[in-house]
Amino acid sequence: MFKNLFAAAAVFAGLFAAPLLASETGLRALFEREQIGLNAVSRARIKEMISEPAVHSEDFSFSRAWLDHQPKATGDAHWRCLSEALYFEARGETIKGQFAVAEVILNRVKSARFPNSVCGVINQGTGKRYQCQFTYTCDGHSENISEPRSFERVSKVARAILDGTAGNLTNGATHYHTVAVRPRWSQVYTRTAKIGVHVFYRHTFRTAAKN
């Protein structure tokens, strides 16, 4: 009798074990195929698959939302110079206004009337009384970045415009001033735009209208 019971138990165990064994074998094969597939994918592709989609230039807008979606900005000495200039000259401006100020600096780089590098343009006249081109470089105050969040934001503006992301905002402007002042040169240079609290000009002279 006991032999019969053991035999029956063995039969039932065999009936249940066979599907389980087949199932485990199938899962093992599936995992092995998956591993082979993953090994065939490059690290860069895996990172791309799991990363948040990048915001491309065609999605560009002069908004904080667009800027906040950009990765942390990095760059060379000229990127750093431009970032600092935007921080000290325009961190209180709108995003569009910050791009406009950055554009003026790049327009100067392209002009034969100014140094041919970003740092050269920004530091032109520094150390000479009344000859500095950007107030913060000769106002006598230490250039401490006390608002890191603001600096991070303007550094992204600098990175974007150096990469050619933004279009022509100022119509070739090479000068600007805030609405709080009216420098003498604003009477002879050609006004091109007003964005935020800044007015923009080209260094071409106005001509009298002909009768």
Sketch the domain layout of the chain as residue ranges.
Answer: 2-50, 59-205
Residue 34 is predicted with a pLDDT of: 60
Strand ranges, E, within 73-197:
175-178, 189-195
User: Which letter does DSSP use for residue 142 in this model?
Assistant: -
For the chain, the average pLDDT equals 78
Residue 104 is predicted with a pLDDT of: 95
Of 24, 83, 66, 81, give the one whose Cα is nearest residue 166. Answer: 66
pTM of the model: 0.67
Q: Residue 56, class by beta-carbon neighbours within 10 Å (0-12 exposed, 13-18 middle, 19+ buried)? A: exposed
